[in-house]
Structure 1
Amino acid sequence: MEDIHAVLEVLENQTVRSVLATIVHVEGSAYRKEGTTMLVQEDGMQTGLLSGGCLEEDIHTRFEAVWTGGSSVITYDMRGFDDLSWGRGTGCDGIIQVLLEPVNSRLYHDLMKMKEHLNAGNAVLMVKQLPADSGSAATLFECTGSVFGNWNGTAPAWINAARSGMQNREDAEEEEALYVHLFSPKPRLFVFGAGDDTCPLVHLAAFAGFDVTVADWRPAKCSRRRFPDARNLFTGFPEDMKHELDIKRGDFAVVMTHDFKRDKELLAYLRKRQLSYLGVLGSRKRTSLLLDQSEVPGDVKTPVGFSIAAEGPHEIAVSITAELIERFKSLTSGSEGMMV
Structure 2
Amino acid sequence: MLDIAQELSQWLEEGRAFAVATVVGVSGSAPRGLGAALAVDRDGNAVGSVSGGCVEGAVYDLCTQALEGDGRSVVERFGYSDEDAFAVGLTCGGIVDILVTPVTADAQVLTVLRSALGDAARNGSAALTRVIRGPAELLGKSLLVRPDGAYEGSHGDDHATLDGTVAAEARALLEVGRTDTVEISEDGSHCPGGLTLLVEVNMPPPCMIVFGAIDFAAALVRVGKFLGYHVTVCDARPVFATRARFPDADDIVVDWPHRYLSRTETDGRTVLCVLTHDAKFDVPLLHEALRMPVAYVGAMGSRRTHADRERRLREAGVGERELARLRSPIGLDLGARTPEETALSIAAEIIAARHGGTGIPLTGAQMPIHRAAGELAVLRAVLGAA
Alignment partners' CA distance in 2, 1:226 and 1:149: 47
1:54-102 CA distance string (max 9 Å, x none): 22233334454444443533424322152662137x3434253333443
User: Could you tell me which of 106, 113, 124 is aligned with 2:119?
Assistant: 113
**1:251–1:75: structure 2 CA closer, same or farther, 3 Å change rule?**
same
Shift in CA distance, 251/333, structure 1 to aligned 2, threshold 3 Å: farther
CA drift of 1:228 comes to 5.0
Instruction: Name the larger-Rg structure.
Output: 2
Deviation of the 1:287 alpha carbon: 2.9
CA contact (8 A) 1:44 1:60 kept: no
Aligned counterpart, 1:56: 56
SS in structure 2 of the partner of residue 197 of structure 1: helix
Q: Distance in 2 between matches of 1:284 and 1:203?
A: 26
Residues 1:309 and 2:335 aligned together: yes
Secondary structure of 1:202 counterpart: helix
Is contact 1:141-1:147 (8 Å) kept?
yes
Amino acid at match of 1:21: A
2:345 maps to amino acid: S
Residues 78 and 97 in structure 2, CA contact (< 8 A), matched pair in contact too? yes
What are the within-5 Å matches in structure 2 for residues 1-340 of structure 1? 4-5=2-3, 7-12=4-9, 17=16, 18-40=18-40, 44-47=45-48, 49-69=49-69, 70=71, 72-81=73-82, 82=84, 85-87=87-89, 90-102=91-103, 106=111, 107-114=113-120, 116=122, 119=124, 122=125, 124-130=126-132, 137-144=140-147, 145-149=149-153, 151-153=155-157, 154=160, 155-157=163-165, 159-161=167-169, 163-164=171-172, 168-169=183-184, 171=189, 173-176=192-195, 178-218=197-237, 221-224=240-243, 226-238=245-257, 240-242=259-261, 244-248=263-267, 250-291=269-310, 292-293=312-313, 297-330=323-356, 334=373
Q: Distance in 2 between matches of 1:134 and 1:65?
A: 19
Task: List per-residue Cα deviations over 1:158-186 (Å, max 9, x = no partner).
Answer: 65356548665564555445333444543
Structure 2 CA distance for aligned equivalents of residues 30 and 99 of structure 1: 18
Listed as ranges, the gaps of 5+ residues in structure 2 are 174-180, 315-319, 358-370, 375-386
Between 136-145 and 37-46, the greater mean CA deviation after superposition:
37-46
Displacement after TM superposition at 1:280 (Å): 0.2
Letter in structure 2 aligned against 1:75? E
Which residue does the alignment assign to 2:384? Answer: none
Residue 338 (structure 1) aligns with: none
Cα distance, 1:147 vs structure 2: 1.1
Backbone CA RMSD of aligned residues: 3.7
Contact 2:129 2:142 in 1 (8 A): yes
C-alpha separation between the residues in 2 aligned to 1:224 and 1:68? 52
The offset of 1:256, in angstroms, is 0.8
Preserved contact between residue 125 and residue 180 of structure 1 (Cα < 8 Å) = yes
Q: 1:251 to 1:51 in 2, by over 3 A?
A: same
Percent identity over the alignment?
Answer: 25
The answer as to whether partners of 2:258 and 2:281 remain within 8 angstroms in 1 is no
Indicate conservation of the 8 Å contact 1:72/1:101, yes or no. Answer: yes
- When the two structures are superposed, what TM-score results if normalisation uses the length of structure 1? 0.77
With normalisation by structure 2, the TM-score equals 0.69
Whichever residue aligns with residue 254 of structure 2, its letter is: T
Q: Alpha-carbon deviation of 1:208?
A: 2.2
Change (3 A) 1:65 1:22: same
Return 5+ residue gaps in structure 1 as ranges.
Answer: 336-340
Q: Deviations over 1:292-340 (max 9, x none)?
A: 05799211110111122222112111111111111112399649xxxxx
Larger relative contact order, structure 1 or 2 (CA cutoff 8 Å, min sep 6) = 1
Greater shift after overlay, 319-328 or 37-46? 37-46
- State the shift of 1:253 in Å: 0.5
- Contact kept? 2:283, 2:313, Cα under 8 Å: no
Deviation string, structure 1 residues 178-204 (Cα, Å, up to 9, x no partner): 333444543322111232212222222
CA distance in 2, matches of 1:56, 1:130: 20
